[in-house]
Amino acid sequence: MAEGVAIFAEWAEEGLHPVSLELLSEARLLADELEDKVQAYFLAPPDKETQAEILIRHGADEVFYVFHQCFEDFLDDVASHILAKMIRENSPEILLFPATARGQALAPRVAGYLRLGLTAHCIAFEIRKEDRTLVQIRPSFGENVMARIISLTKPQMATVRPGVFSKAKEDPTRTGRIKKIPLSDEEVKSALHIFKKHPRKAPKVDLAQARVVIAGGRGMGTKEFFAKLYELAELLEGAVGATRPVCHLGWISEEHMIGVSGHTISPKLYLGFGISGAIHHLVGIRNPGLIVAVNKDPEAPLMKKADVAVVGDVREILPLLIRRLKELKGESHEA
Amino acid sequence: MRFMVCLKPVPEPGTVKVDPKTHTLRRESATLILNPADRYALEAAVELKEKVGAEVTAVMMGPPNAIPLLKEAYACGADNIYLLSDRAFAGSDTLATSYVLSLAVQKLGPFDLIFCGKVSIDGETAQVGPELAAWLNWPSVIWVKDIRPAQNGFEVVRLTDEGEEELEVRPPALFTIEPEINDPRPPSIKRLLEMLTREVPTLTAEDLDADPSHLGLEGSPTRVLDVFTPTYEEKKEILEGPAEEVVEKLVSILKERGLI
Ligand SMILES: Cc1cc2nc3c(=O)[nH]c(=O)nc-3n(C[C@H](O)[C@H](O)[C@H](O)COP(=O)(O)OP(=O)(O)OC[C@H]3O[C@@H](n4cnc5c(N)ncnc54)[C@H](O)[C@@H]3O)c2cc1C
Ligand SMILES: Nc1ncnc2c1ncn2[C@@H]1O[C@H](COP(=O)(O)O)[C@@H](O)[C@H]1O
Give yes or no for a contact between A100 and A163, defined as CB atoms under 8 angstroms apart: no
Give the mean pLDDT of chain B. 94
Asked if the structure places residue B34 within a domain, the reply is yes
What is the length of chain A?
335
pLDDT of residue A335 exceeding 70: no
Cα(B73) to centroid(ligand 2), Å? 15
* Nearest-by-CA chain A residue for B37: A248
Is residue B157 within a helix (H) or strand (E), and if so which, with residue range? strand B153-159
Q: Could you give the angle at the alpha carbon of B212 between the alpha carbons of B206 and B216, nearest 5°? A: 105
**Crossing angle for the helix pair A314-334 and B243-256, nearest 10 degrees?**
50
Ligand 2 pocket member B63 (CB < 6 A):
no
pLDDT, average across residues B62-72: 96
Asked if the structure places residue B203 within a domain, the reply is yes
Give yes or no for a contact between B67 and B179, defined as CB atoms under 8 angstroms apart: no
Distance of CA B204 to the CA centre of its chain: 20
Q: What are φ and ψ of residue B173, in 5° steps?
A: -155, 160
pLDDT band at A1 (very low <50, low <70, confident <90, very high): low
pLDDT in tens, A101-127: 999 999 999 999 999 999 999 999 999
Q: Which residue has the CA at smallest separation from atom 20 of ligand 2?
A: B117
Nearest to A19 by CA among A203, A167, A119: A167
pLDDT, average across residues A14-25: 94
pLDDT, average across residues B11-37: 79
In order of A27, A289, A319, B56, the CA distances from A207 in angstroms are 25, 15, 23, 40
Q: Which pLDDT score is estimated for A149?
A: 97
Q: Do B221 and A324 touch (CB under 8 A)?
A: no
Number of domains in chain B: 1
Is residue B241 within a helix (H) or strand (E), and if so which, with residue range? none
Set of chain B residues whose Cβ sits within 8 Å of the Cβ of A101: 142-143, 159-161
pLDDT, average across residues B171-184: 97
Q: Which pLDDT score is estimated for A275?
A: 98
Q: Which pLDDT score is estimated for A201?
A: 78
DSSP state of A145: S
pLDDT band at B232 (very low <50, low <70, confident <90, very high): confident
CA distance A67 to B124: 33
Is residue B235 within a helix (H) or strand (E), and if so which, with residue range? none
Q: Do B134 and A111 touch (CB under 8 A)?
A: yes
Ligand 2 pocket member B182 (CB < 6 A):
no
Give the number of other CB atoms < 10 A from CB of residue A194: 17
pLDDT, average across residues A254-278: 95
Q: Do B95 and A320 touch (CB under 8 A)?
A: no
Beta strands (DSSP E) in B35-85 are 55-61, 80-84
DSSP state of A51: H
CA distance A287 to A266: 5
What Rg value do the Cα atoms of chain A yield, rounded? 22
Beta strands (DSSP E) in B35-133 are 55-61, 80-84, 113-117
A155 cis-preceded (ω within 30 degrees of 0): yes
Cα(A30) to centroid(ligand 2), Å? 32
Q: Which pLDDT score is estimated for A143?
A: 73
pLDDT of residue A222 exceeding 90: yes
Give the number of other CB atoms < 10 A from CB of residue B90: 18
Is residue A240 within a helix (H) or strand (E), and if so which, with residue range? strand A239-242
A–B: how many Cβ contacts below 8 A? Answer: 241
Asked if the structure places residue B100 within a domain, the reply is yes
pLDDT band at B233 (very low <50, low <70, confident <90, very high): confident
pLDDT of residue A333 exceeding 70: no
CA distance A120 to B93: 11
Set of chain B residues whose Cβ sits within 8 Å of the Cβ of A198: 163-166
In order of B33, B42, B75, B136, the CA distances from B7 in angstroms are 10, 8, 14, 18
Q: Which pLDDT score is estimated for A279?
A: 94
Mutate to test the pocket of ligand 1, among A218, A265, A311 (most ligand atoms within 8 A of CB): A218
pLDDT in tens, A156-210: 999 999 999 999 999 999 999 999 999 999 999 999 999 999 998 776 668 988 9
pLDDT, average across residues A255-269: 94
Burial per residue of A250-285, b for 16 or more beta-carbon CB atoms within 10 angstroms, e otherwise: ebbebebbbbbbbbbbbbbbbbbbbbbbbbbbbbbb
Nearest to B174 by CA among B138, B203, B217, B215: B138
* Domain that includes residue B74, residue range: 2-214
> Which domains does chain A carry?
5-188 (3.40.50.620), 207-329 (3.40.50.1220)
User: Residue A227, class by beta-carbon neighbours within 10 Å (0-12 exposed, 13-18 middle, 19+ buried)?
Assistant: middle
Q: Which pLDDT score is estimated for B112?
A: 98
In order of A46, B37, B78, the CA distances from A259 in angstroms are 37, 19, 35
Instruction: For residue A200, give the nearest of B128, B162, B169 by CB distance.
Output: B162
Q: Which residue has the CA at smallest separation from atom 7 of ligand 1?
A: A259
A119 min Cα distance to partner chain B (Å): 8
Asked if the structure places residue B47 within a domain, the reply is yes
User: Residue A112, class by beta-carbon neighbours within 10 Å (0-12 exposed, 13-18 middle, 19+ buried)?
Assistant: buried
Q: Which pLDDT score is estimated for A196?
A: 97
pLDDT band at A13 (very low <50, low <70, confident <90, very high): confident
Q: Do B257 and A310 touch (CB under 8 A)?
A: no
A44 min Cα distance to partner chain B (Å): 17
Cα(B130) to centroid(ligand 1), Å? 29
* Nearest-by-CA chain B residue for A13: B162
Asked if the structure places residue B22 within a domain, the reply is yes
CA distance B181 to B178: 6
pLDDT in tens, A131-144: 999 999 999 877 77
Asked if the structure places residue B166 within a domain, the reply is yes
Provide the percentage of residues in chain B whose pLDDT is more than 90.
Answer: 83
Is residue A248 within a helix (H) or strand (E), and if so which, with residue range? helix A244-248
CA distance A70 to A106: 16
pLDDT of residue A69 exceeding 90: yes
Cα(A253) to centroid(ligand 1), Å? 16
Q: Which pLDDT score is estimated for B230?
A: 83
- Collapsed DSSP state (helix, strand, coil) of residue B247: helix
Instruction: For residue B140, give the nearest of A109, A236, A292 by CB distance.
Output: A109
pLDDT in tens, B192-230: 999 999 999 999 999 999 999 999 999 999 999 998 888
User: What is the strand order of the sheet A146-151 is part of?
Assistant: A124-128, A133-139, A146-151, B222-228
Q: Which pLDDT score is estimated for B238?
A: 94
Q: Which pLDDT score is estimated for A203?
A: 65
What is the length of chain B?
260
pLDDT in tens, A274-311: 999 999 999 999 988 999 999 999 999 999 999 999 99
Index of the ligand 1 atom closest to the CA of residue A314: 42
Asked if the structure places residue B227 within a domain, the reply is no
Provide the percentage of residues in chain A whose pLDDT is more than 90.
Answer: 90
Give the mean pLDDT of chain A. 94
Asked if the structure places residue B225 within a domain, the reply is no
Long-range contacts from A296-305, C-beta under 8 angstroms, 24+ separation: A296/A219, A298/B238, A298/B240, A300/A275, A300/A276, A301/A144, A301/A276, A301/A277, A302/A272, A302/A275, A302/A276, A302/A277, A303/A277, A303/B236, A304/A277, A304/B232, A304/B234, A304/B236, A305/A277, A305/B232
- Chain B interface, best mutation among A308, A314, A322, A326, by max B CB count within 10 A: A308
CATH number at residue B94: 3.40.50.620
Burial per residue of B217-226, b for 16 or more beta-carbon CB atoms within 10 angstroms, e otherwise: bebbbbbbee
Cα(A3) to centroid(ligand 1), Å? 42
Q: Which ligand is nearest to the CA of B57?
A: 2
CA distance B6 to A231: 42
> Which has more confidence, A116 or B26?
A116
Interface confidence (ipTM) of the complex: 0.94
Q: Do A324 and B251 touch (CB under 8 A)?
A: yes
